[in-house]
Amino acid sequence: MSPSADSVPDPLEVFPELREFGRPALLLNPRLSGRALTPRDSSVGGPLLWPADAPWPTCSLAHLVKLPEPPGTEEVVFDEPVALQPVLQLFARDLPEGWSLPEGAAVLQVLWCPNEHAETPESFGNLFAPSIAIRWWHGTGLADPLEDPPVPHTRDPSYDLSGCPGGTLTPESTVDHPSVFALPDSLADRIRAWEEETGAVGRYIDDTASLSGLKLGGHPSWGVTDPFPMHCAECGTDLEHLLQIDTISLGETLIFLGRGYSLSVYRCPTSLAHPHRVNIQ
């Protein structure tokens, strides 16, 4: 950061009314661990503690596969079921003090189909991203884990975590603030003007709001579209931001979700059994 930016006051000091919009967030900070991960580790791209008697999830959507010739070709070529791939496992016991998983869940698991889908049932329109599955377990049923989970037979290299050794998580508790697009117009305008006038462009927009990274809770990114209402498809309740996946950087594995955009997963606060939804910004 430049000396001039350093001398600019904290936007939360200049605009104390921003504090009421702050939401707890957990930056998960994935890193290569240097050791073999086990199904009992919280991890990115590591093995899951999956009950041996539970069916492994698959994706049966139409897949957009990039063909080698001619360059840039994309075509729907198959919809045979694809086994999903582990992306994230987060045990409640590994969360910082004061944090818990909803409904007292013991573990959150995120899997995806590492291929491109034009539109998934959980998206709000065009997605062009992996299809995501969310699982919550409550401790029971985890005593007899599946040892040899199926692997997806087709994987887009842009999303494939199968060659990756997996990474450990170092959750960091923080407070996240809304994108300027999700703030009241008058406040957003004053923040933009302040950034321009003080030469600290990005001080709020990039450094304070909708923090980037693999993130639990907090605020989603906006900007590709204006914010729009998000309701549970089952009960109509307003959805909560559960998880953001933008990049996953682990050694030689580098996943840029949605070509550098940010994929947010939303959940219904009424019930973990209600369907999640996703949005890319």
Binding site for Zn ion (CB under 5 A): 59, 61, 82, 113, 115, 131, 232, 234-235, 237, 268, 270, 274
Q: 26 vs 111, which CB is nearer to Zn ion?
A: 111
Cα separation of 221 and 279, whole Å? 10
Q: How far is the CB of 130 from Zn ion (least distance, A)?
A: 7
Query: What is the smallest separation between the CB atom of 273 and Zn ion, expressed in angstroms?
Result: 9
Q: How far is the CB of 86 from Zn ion (least distance, A)?
A: 15
Instruction: For Zn ion, give the closer residue by CB, 95 or 280.
Output: 280
Choose between 18 and 59: whose C-beta lies nearer to Zn ion: 59
Cβ 255 to Zn ion, closest distance in Å?
A: 16
Minimum CB distance to Zn ion smaller for 18 or for 129: 129
- Measured between alpha carbons, how far apart are the two ends of the chain, in Å? 26
Shortest spacing between CB 56 and Zn ion, in angstroms: 14
User: Is the Cβ of residue 129 or residue 211 nearer to Zn ion in the bound state?
Assistant: 129
Hey, how many other C-beta atoms are within 10 angstroms of the C-beta on 156? 16
Closest contact distance (angstroms) between CB of 116 and Zn ion is 8
CA–CA separation, 94 and 154 (whole Å): 32
Identify which of residues 33 and 270 has a Cβ nearer to Zn ion in the complex.
Answer: 270
Nearer to Zn ion, 117 or 177 (CB): 117
Amino acid at 2: S
Residues near 212 by Cβ (< 8 Å), separated by ≥ 6? 221, 244, 246, 247, 262
Supply the minimum distance, in Å, between the C-beta of residue 59 and Zn ion. 3
Q: How far apart are CA 79 and CA 244, in angstroms?
A: 27
